[in-house]
């Protein structure tokens, strides 16, 4: 893997975006032929590394649908998205109309474009669905919102090296082969009970799933496939990652929508190799 020095900004907003700690992640990623991301999110690690091949996965079908449209025909798709990034769409009334249209449409192309629109115009770039599977994040009230065209073009060019699929972490990791490297960025363990992070999936990501991921990472490494996991560093993660080589560091975290509720939190990178 070649080393990139400049940090590339993903074109999507995403809670837990790894752009700010990419300099800590990259030195821990071993050499390999293919990088696999079972929890791709905004794909910050994907755009900031240089493996020969990538397998980019997520359980969020809307996210993968967007990436597939950008990969398939970036120029046409970017042009199609432009109409959602004009002054008339950056108002609450229009936002809620388009959010309703997103939740109703059966068109994959329209849904992809509207998912991008919602991501850039909703509150804090959150991705949250109600129990019926409807996107329900409120309007974000940004002064200006431009289509991130340059970042989308960069992503599309890099996407030539990638395969994008909807898949859960267990299926993805069990199908990995020697020569693969796996980076896992699961929804983080809460820092405390007041840390009400958004639900990444309709049913959330449970503590049992966190344990299962750690156990599977260890078993995958025993097959000769290194796995790196990022998470909050808590008593819980200290225990479940006890068989990994870990490194911890402090990061700035917002634990509420208020700017004054920003605290330093410990993160951990757990390497199974």
Domains, in order of start, for the chain: 18-59+167-272 (3.40.50.150), 66-147 (1.10.1020.10)
- The whole-angstrom separation of Cα 110 and Cα 83 is 12
The pLDDT assigned to 200 comes to 45
CB 272 within 8 A of CB 247: no
CA-based nearest residue to 168, from 45, 59, 271, 77: 59
The pLDDT assigned to 253 comes to 63
Q: What is the pLDDT along the chain (273 residues), one digit of tens a residue?
A: 555 568 999 999 998 889 889 999 999 999 999 999 999 999 999 999 999 999 999 999 999 999 999 999 999 999 999 999 998 999 999 999 999 999 999 999 999 999 999 999 999 999 999 999 999 999 999 988 999 999 999 999 999 999 999 999 999 999 999 999 999 999 999 987 544 444 444 457 899 999 999 999 999 999 999 999 999 999 999 999 999 999 999 987 654 455 555 567 899 999 999
The pLDDT assigned to 254 comes to 54
CA-based nearest residue to 118, from 143, 152, 80, 145: 145
């Amino acid at each position: 893997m070649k080393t990139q020095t400049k940090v590339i900004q993903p074109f999507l907003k995403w809670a837990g975006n790894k752009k700010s700690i990419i300099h800590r992640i990259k030195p821990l990623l071993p050499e390999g032929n293919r990088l696999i991301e079972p929890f791709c999110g905004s794909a910050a690690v994907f755009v900031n590394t240089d493996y020969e091949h990538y397998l980019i996965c997520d359980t969020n079908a809307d996210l993968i649908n967007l990436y597939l449209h950008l990969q398939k025909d970036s120029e046409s798709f970017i042009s199609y998205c432009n109409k959602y990034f004009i002054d008339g769409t950056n108002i609450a009334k229009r936002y809620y109309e388009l959010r309703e249209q997103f939740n109703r449409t059966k068109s994959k192309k329209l849904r992809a474009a509207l998912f991008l629109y919602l991501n850039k115009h909703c509150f804090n770039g959150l991705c949250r669905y109600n129990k019926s599977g409807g996107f329900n994040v409120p309007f974000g009230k940004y002064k200006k919102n431009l289509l991130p065209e340059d970042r989308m073009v960069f992503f599309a060019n890099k996407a030539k090296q990638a395969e994008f699929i909807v898949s859960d972490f267990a299926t993805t990791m069990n199908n990995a082969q020697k020569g693969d490297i796996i980076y896992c960025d699961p929804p983080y363990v809460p820092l405390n009970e007041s840390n009400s992070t958004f639900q990444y999936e309709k049913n959330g990501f449970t503590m049992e799933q966190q344990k299962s991921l750690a156990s599977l990472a260890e078993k995958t490494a025993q097959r000769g496939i290194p796995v790196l996991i990022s998470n909050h560093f808590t008593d819980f993660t200290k225990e479940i990652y006890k068989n990994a080589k870990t490194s911890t560091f402090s990061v700035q975290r917002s634990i509420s929508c208020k700017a004054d509720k920003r605290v330093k939190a410990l993160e951990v990178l757990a390497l199974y190799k």
